[in-house]
Amino acid sequence: MAAASNFVNPRSPVADSARQAGEAPSQHACARCVVDVRAVNDARKHYLRLALLALGALLGCTGGSAPQGHNGDTSFAATQARGARVMGVDQYTSAHVFEDLPDGGRIILERNDSTDTAGIATIRRHMQTIAADFEHGDFAKPFQVHAQVVPGTATMKARRAAIRYKAAERPRGGEVRLQSADPAAVTAIHEFLAFQRAAHHAAAHEGMHQWSVR
């Protein structure tokens, strides 16, 4: 069978062209095979380059990576896990609001399930605790949740005498109101709340949806 594969019909155009070139028909056929294989390989490389360029353009349109949800965003997932440990409730089934106000702002945390009385009570205790902590310049809990010093807290600590913190209950959780007449303190509060909004994928006002839902 191997010998048959190299056979060239002496009357074929391949044989005629080979004779005109002064080559043996079988040698000419082999040369054409090599050329054909190279052409196929070149075509494959060309289409592969086109495919890679198309993929790059697609990824560029989606921000350079596939869309990510909670499970794909490892930083957010880590924040959620630490938040659950510090606050005592599942962050995915709770809702945050970090609202800027002219004289400061407020932090709201509520359970999505109004029948979860245990979770609601846990949130209320947490809000009471952080209101007392912040009043004394203690921002250990935000540090524990975010694993870093939270922007604004240095000024909030330095100007703690100028800031008032008041915890209040809400039907499904609680809130802490932050108030100050000191412009520097208000600016620091807004920095603090902006960071929290981004890190928790949270709303800036009541009635707004959080950035994403699991």
Q: Give residue 213's pLDDT band: very low, low, confident or very high (50, 70, 90).
A: very low
Q: Where are the domains of the chain?
A: 2-61, 74-200
> What does the alpha-carbon distance between residue 91 and residue 83 come to, in Å, rounded to a whole number?
7
Give the pLDDT confidence score for residue 168 in this predicted structure. 98
Assess whether pLDDT exceeds 60 at residue 99: yes
Task: List, for residues 121-144, the tens digit of each pLDDT value.
Answer: 999 999 999 999 999 999 999 999
What is the average pLDDT value for the chain, to the nearest integer?
Answer: 79
- In terms of Cβ atoms closer than 10 Å to its own Cβ (0-12, 13-18, 19+), residue 94 is buried
| Average pLDDT of the segment spanning 78-97 | 97
| 165 bridge partner residues | 178
Query: What percent of the chain is modeled with pLDDT above 90?
Result: 61
- In terms of Cβ atoms closer than 10 Å to its own Cβ (0-12, 13-18, 19+), residue 38 is exposed
Give the pLDDT confidence score for residue 169 in this predicted structure. 98
Cβ neighbors of 93 (< 8 A, separation 6 or more) are 111, 112, 113
Q: Which of 133, 21, 37, 31 is nearest to 87 (CA)?
A: 133
Task: List, for residues 190-201, the tens digit of each pLDDT value.
Answer: 999 999 999 999
Please give the model's pTM, rounded to 2 decimal places. 0.65
| Average pLDDT of the segment spanning 62-70 | 38
Task: List, for residues 36-48, the tens digit of each pLDDT value.
Answer: 556 556 666 655 6
| Average pLDDT of the segment spanning 155-170 | 98
Give the pLDDT confidence score for residue 214 in this predicted structure. 37
| Average pLDDT of the segment spanning 27-33 | 50
CB 71 within 8 A of CB 77: yes
Greatest alpha-carbon span in the chain: 105
Give the pLDDT confidence score for residue 2 in this predicted structure. 45
> What does the alpha-carbon distance between residue 186 and residue 163 come to, in Å, rounded to a whole number?
8
**Whole-number Cα distances in Å, 153 to 101, 103, 134, 174:** 17, 16, 9, 21
